[in-house]
Structures are given as C-alpha cells and as structure tokens.
A and B are shown apart, each in its own frame.
Chain A
Amino acid sequence: MQPETQPVSRRDALIKLLRVAGAGAGAATLGMWLSKQSLRPEPALAVAARRGHAVAQDPQRPEIAVITGEDPAQLARQALEELGGIHRFVSRGDVVLVKPNIGWDRTPEQAANTNPDVVAEVVRQCSNAGAKRVIVTDTSCNDPRRCFQRSGIAAAAQAAGAQVILPDPARFKEVDLQGEILRAWPVLNPFLNVDKVINIPIAKHHSLTGTTLGMKNWYGMLGGPRHQLHQKIHESLVDLADFVRPTLTMVDCYRILVRNGPTGGNLQDVLLKKTMVAGTNPVALDAYVAKAFWNLEVSDLPYLTMAANRGLGTYEFEKVRMQIKAL
C-alpha cells in the first residue's frame, strides 16, 4: 500500500520552520544560561547563631551557692533561692532550655547522668516563673532512647511539664561557633532559638580533663565528629562555654562519680555527697567542685585559666561571693 501523500503549503512550511527555530533558540538560550550557572558544588554554609544567655549581675546576691541536704529537689530549690530566686533568671514568656547530662545508658544510682529529681525541680520552677516552654534535651553518646529512659530524666522532666526532645540526626544545624578553634559545627536545633539556658551537669571523674563538670557539659550540644575535640580539649571547652554563656549553672553533686568516669557503671565508684553547687560564675563553679571533691588545682585544669582570660568568669572562687548552707 502506498503511504498517503499530502503536499505541504508554503504557509505550513513557514509555520513549521518558525516552530523549529523557536525550539532551537529556546534550547540555545537555556544551554547558555545553564552554562553560566556552573559553580563548584560546596556544602551549605554554617549559620551564625545567638551567643550568650546570661542575666545581669546582682551585687547583692552570691555568685555561688553551696547547699547540702537530704532531698535533691530541695537542694535545687534552696540553691535557686540563695541566688536570687528563679524570677531573677526566668521571665514570663521565656523559652528555657534545661541542659542536664543524659549522655550515658546508666541508671541514676550509677551517677553518670544528672539526678532526675534535680532536673524535674528546675523544670517546675521555670514553669512557675511563667516560662512559655521548658525544653529538656541532650545529645547522648550511647543510644539516646535508652539514655533518656534509663536515666529517669525523660519521665521526670515530662511529668514536671517539660518538652523532652530526643536528639534526631535531622535536628542538627551547621552553626558557626566563632571560636578560636571551633568554627562550623552541627548544633542540636533546640539550643539555637531559646531565651535562657540552664546548665545542670553532674560532677564526674574524666581521664583526659581530670573531671567533667559544667563547661564540659556543653559537648551535649554538638553533633558531628565531636570525638575530635579531645585533641584540643581545653580550647574546645572554652570555645563552647564562650558560645553559650548560660543563664545559670547548677552542678549536681548529690551523687558524684569519683573513678572510671565519665561512663562509670560500678556502684563502688559513686560517692553520696548530697550537695548542690550552683551559680552564675561558671569558671569559679568548676574550680570549686574540682577542688572540693577531687582536690584538683587550677593548674591541673588548663581550661579554667583559658576561660578566665576570655572573660567567662574567675577561677579564684575564694574571691567570689559564696553562700554555704546546710539544710
């Protein structure tokens, strides 16, 4: 069978030509534009973030409060009282981030994580002060689900009304820490948009730094290859502390881990000290706790001197206004 023949009119030919020319021109333009866009692919830039959450100094109030007593929640409450009451730190409508140590898969008796009663009490106090939202979170080293549950902190904080956030790989944002050695690092999102930050570490032994106290607790804000920080651990701690500048630090010394820290595990490594050391001078706090329970001097903890030089506080805790109370 013969294929159907249909002669093309001049008009049709012109239209066909124009269509093809148009398509060709379009392809050429698109090609040239795409060529101009060619850039070497780079990973996304780190964002700048809010630095510092400290409140004004109050010369009438002590900078450090050392409270001893039986009930951990009461210790926390009294410490806050001595320092000026929760209202000095948390205002109505604030979004508060409470940062305990929930790093390890251990029970409260093993003293590797912050005492859950202390965390719950602080959460309650913040809510009573009118905080809009109280967030409790940490980037655990071990599996976070187990850490949050077995430490008792998730349940206690949740019951006290906090929003407990598990660290999710998707929740990290690349932030420029603007430190001397720490620049762009992934930071857990909740840390970035809050009004007040309250640090609640637990006092433990640590082989590299001697102890892990308040300033080391900021590790829990970071994701990424934070095991690299150990190569310049003192400088890293100072960079982190400089970035956060917390509203308040409360070092949980109810139970302390004196050996085999920071993981611990053996109950014989735990000492019951029934103490709370809290204050607004993070360097003095660390110096005091290190001296009190491990008899470590400032020279043993280089990061204290570095932090003092950066204006984060003073390590001469004997010169700082201190209130010592036994309940």
Chain B
Amino acid sequence: MLQFPKLSRLRTISQTLFFLLFLFLLLRTEFRGSLTASNSDIRLPYPVSFFFEIDPLVALSNLLAGHALYRGLLLCLLILIPTMFLGRFFCGWICPFGSIHHYFSSLRSERKRGKQLIESNRYKRWQTTKYYLLIVSLVAAVFGTGIVGWLDPFSFLVRSLGLSILPATDYGVRGLLGLFERSQYAWVQNVGSGLHFLLGLLLLSFKQPFFRLGIWLGAIFVFIVILNLRITRFWCRALCPLGALLGMVSRWSVLGLVKNPEHCNDCNRCLLRCQGGDDPVGGVPWHQPECHLCMNCVDECPEHGLRFEWFPAQKSAGTNLQRRKVLTGLAAGAVFVPLARATPGFAAEHHERLLRPPGALDEGFFLSRCIRCGQCMKVCPNNALHPAFSEAGLEGLSTPVLVPRIGYCEASCVLCSQVCPTGAIWEITAKQKGWSVDVGRMEKPVRLGTAFYDRGRCLPWAMATDCIVCEEWCPTSPKAIYFRSAEVIDPTGNPKQVKQPYLDPAQCVGCGACEYACPVHDHPAVYVTSIGESRSRTNQVLLNRRKS
C-alpha cells in the first residue's frame, strides 16, 4: 500500500523543482548562439521572465505606475487567485528566494538552539515591518517610481545571482579549469577540457561577465542570507514586500490551521521548524497572513494536534498594523519621489553618461516601470549594461546604464527589450532599432546618445599616428565617423599624412562601438554621452537632422 507522502516532503520537492527551474531560466537568460540556425532574427528560446510575470507585486507596481498591465504580467493571476483561496503557499512551496532562506535557516547555528530557536520562531511584532515597506513601495509606485524592485524577491535574487554570484562562480570555475588546462601533462589538460565543455553547457556563461557594483550586490545578498542563521527566514518574515502583499490578500483564504487543544501538551515541537513565524503553538491565535504553509508543524506534532482544514472553525489573527506606522509608510512613499526628483539628476543636470538600453522609455516613464531586476544586464551579449550607482540619482540605483568602455550595443540585438518584464525597455524589433536590419529604409533609428572626440588623446589628432579603428567599427551606413586626410608633423619634425576622424552627429546612434574599440582604452579618445538620445525630447543638441 502506497502511503501518501508527508506534506512537508511534497513541499520540499516542490521547492526544489521550482528552484531548479528558476536557476535554469536564469542561466538561460543569455543568448548562447546556435550552430544550426541561421535565421537573422534572434530570440531567446526560453521564457526567462516567467517568474517576474507571475509576480503579483511587479504586476501591481506596473499597474500603479503605468495604468495598464504590460505583456505577460497578467500571469500574476496564476499566483494571486490561488493565494486568495489558500494563503501564502507561494512563499512556502514556490518562491526560489524563499527556498534559499529555508535552506540556510536549516543549517545548524549557535544562536538558534533549543529554547532560543523556539523563542525565535514565535510571532514577533517586527514581522509587520514588511507591510510598511510594501506600503512605501506601492505609494512610491503611485507617484511614479519603481523602487519596489529593490525589495521584490525575484528582482533581488536575479540582481544578486545574475550580476554577482554567478559571475563570481564563473571566475572561480574558470580559474580552476585554467589550472588544469595549463598543465604540462596531456591527460590533465584533457580532463580540464572535458570539464570545461560540460560546465560550459550547464553553468558557465559564454564569456566571463563583469558587472559594476558586483561586490556590493554580492555582499548584500550574502548578508541577507546569513541573517537566516540568526533568525529563520528573516527576509520572508520581516522584509519581503511580496510576502506582505500575499499575506494581505490571503485574509479571505478558505484554508486554515486548526489547533486541537486537547492534544496539545505544550511540547513546542511545532515551533522548531516553523518557517513563517505564525504561532502554530497552542494557547495563542494563529497568524494566518504569516503562515507559509510549509506543513512542518503538522508533521512535527507528535500528538497530531494540528491540521489544515477547509473553512476552519477557528479565527486567525490578522495583520494588526499600527495606524501610526501605516501613516508613516504612506508619508514616506509619498515624500520619496519629490525628494528624489528635486535633487539634480532627473530634471536638472542630467548625467552625461546615463546611456539607457535601446528601447528604453523616456526617463520619467522608465524610472516608474523599471524594477531594477538586472535581467537586461544579464542577457546583454556584450556585457554592456550595468546597474547605475550615481548616474541616475538615488532613485535610479540599480537601473541599467550602458557603459561602452566595457561593452557596446550590438547593432542588430534587441534582447534586453525582449526580456524586460515591465516595459521599461519597451520591446522593439531589430528593424525598429534600425542600425543593421533594413538600414536606409528606417527613417528614425533608435539613438542612445552621441559620440564626441577628445582630440588631445586621439592618435591621428594628438600623436601623428594612423588609426581610425573607430571609423572601421562604426556600424551605421553611411558611417557617422568620417575622416579627412591632414598633414601633421611627427615627433622627429617630419611632415606626415594621417587620416583624422570626425563625427557626424546626424548619423550617430550612440552605440558605443567606437569608444569600445578605441585603442586608448584606459580613457578612450572617442566617447559617447547621452545627448541626442531618441527617447528624450529635451536631451538634444541638433535642431534638426539632415536626411541621411
């Protein structure tokens, strides 16, 4: 007779599967190239934004900011509606970030032992903090900023793993493989090559990515995860705004924990591995909005005194928010946007190096939609996009900015616009981008900025030496970089003919290939600034552009 497995065992399997799915999709947020397909229209084969699309918090923020639901965000109903019926099953059974916290919480820790552990798993008042954070984020979203993305669990996880942990893993693994491959013994080299091939298929990126702020993102991630050694699932209980949202929405749930006081002998075993901090213990009300439905308490109770029932007879405790704190949250959310935008960076003194990805909306719309998730940065084949630190002000922290010195924008690539879950980078086709597909037929290509020459560093201008690599790389037709032959005097005093580059701002699309290719790579002689970007009506220098 097959016994029905314990619910907590089922839950573990579910967590594992969803975590692996998440990891798989994250690793596949990268164009790997196909050796068999030759179609010029490149799309990612996997639905890598899936977890964002089912995230009700992202959907709600997008809705408040844009008054509509972008593309696949309707899928959030897949989570939202069942939560209304069942409670926070998402946190316990699906959320990959939650699974990470769950795992680290289960590690043996000095501070979480015996009586301390039991005490730490009681419901705590500070668990209401996440509701206030949720209110701040949502109010801020109403006022037009997507800072909810800083704390949204998927955004946080993709940002941390994609931009910091995975690149670090890449680096470490490649370093180790390098040891093997540099050996003088052929068999060791072969082992190394084999491992490299295998890991290349499963784990490694095509090329080593480097991301700005990587160490900070990694440190913050590690810190948040290590907190679990002190308090089980600290993030989920105290910080996660998605958890707060799901908690609030589950107040009408028809599934609830029922405690049988006759069977309870106050052993507190139910608290040992309680994930949500919802007080499954006898003698106190159960906090329904905190429970993750992990089923540990039900399986732990030696007296079988706990059961989840449909239409439970016992009433659970609500969220119990303090009115004062709610008002503070509302005020904070309301005040954030004006405070942030009255500081130069948004309306005044727009940072010259704030180059946004192709397809990005005008800055106001962009900041309201961008959830700072880092997917665009992960998918960019040239490692060109990086989280902003100061270029977009405090509000723009972690939004994507193009850094041509690290990578330029590939002419026919529109992958970032394909993976953006909220439409901050509105989806465009390569044709609409107009840099390489159907060139000459597209009247208005997307422009990211304009290139400028620093003649004091440029080889033909300053050092009487031939170069024009920038002109060679310029992808537009006709090229935005043209040259004129000039006679210069070289250091020995002899006259010499060199070709000196000039920029035609009417043609330049600001892709950054010139800056990337410039041999004076420590501080390139040609550089791109944001002026001339097509998404902004005001950030322009030319009155009108000649027809090409």
Contact = CB atoms under 8 A, between A and B. Distances in A.
Interface string B172-205: 0010011001000000000000001000000000
B466 interface: yes
B472 A116 contact: no
Interface stretch (B28-36, B233-241, B304-312): B28-36
B322 interface: no
Contacts of B469: 227, 230
A53 to B, nearest CB: 24
Contacts of A260: 477-479
Interface of A: 105-107, 110, 116, 141-146, 148-152, 154-156, 158-159, 164, 166, 168-170, 206-208, 225, 227-228, 230-233, 259-260, 262-269
A266 B32 contact: no
Nearest to B468: A208
A262 B472 contact: yes
A263 B410 CA distance: 12
Interface in B372-422: 381-382, 410-413
B518 A158 contact: no
Interface stretch (B244-252, B270-278, B346-354, B432-440): B432-440
Contacts, number: 134
B145 to A, nearest CB: 33
A22 B448 CA distance: 70
Contact of B519 (A142, A156, A227, A233): A227
A235 B471 CA distance: 20
B33 A231 contact: no
B36 A155 contact: yes
A168 B37 CA distance: 20
Given A149-B38, A227-B469, A265-B439, A169 B499 contact: no
B357 to A, nearest CB: 15
Interface of B: 31-40, 42, 174, 177-178, 181, 196, 206-208, 381-382, 410-413, 435-437, 439-440, 459, 465-469, 471-479, 483, 499, 517-519, 521
B410 A207 contact: no
B175 to A, nearest CB: 11
Contact of B33 (A106, A166, A259): A166
A109 to B, nearest CB: 9
A260 B548 CA distance: 13
**Complex A-B, nearest 6 residue pairs according to Cβ-Cβ distance, in ascending order:** A145-B33, A266-B477, A155-B38, A265-B477, A152-B38, A265-B439
Contacts of B39: 149
Given A169-B208, A170-B178, A263 B474 contact: yes
A231 B465 CA distance: 6
Given A170-B174, A225-B521, A266-B440, A149 B471 contact: no
Given A164-B35, A227-B518, A230-B468, A263 B473 contact: yes
B476 A230 contact: no
A58 to B, nearest CB: 36
Contacts of B476: 265
Given A143-B413, A265-B436, 12 more contacts: A107-B40, A143-B410, A144-B33, A146-B381, A148-B35, A154-B36, A168-B206, A206-B472, A233-B466, A265-B475, A265-B476, A267-B439
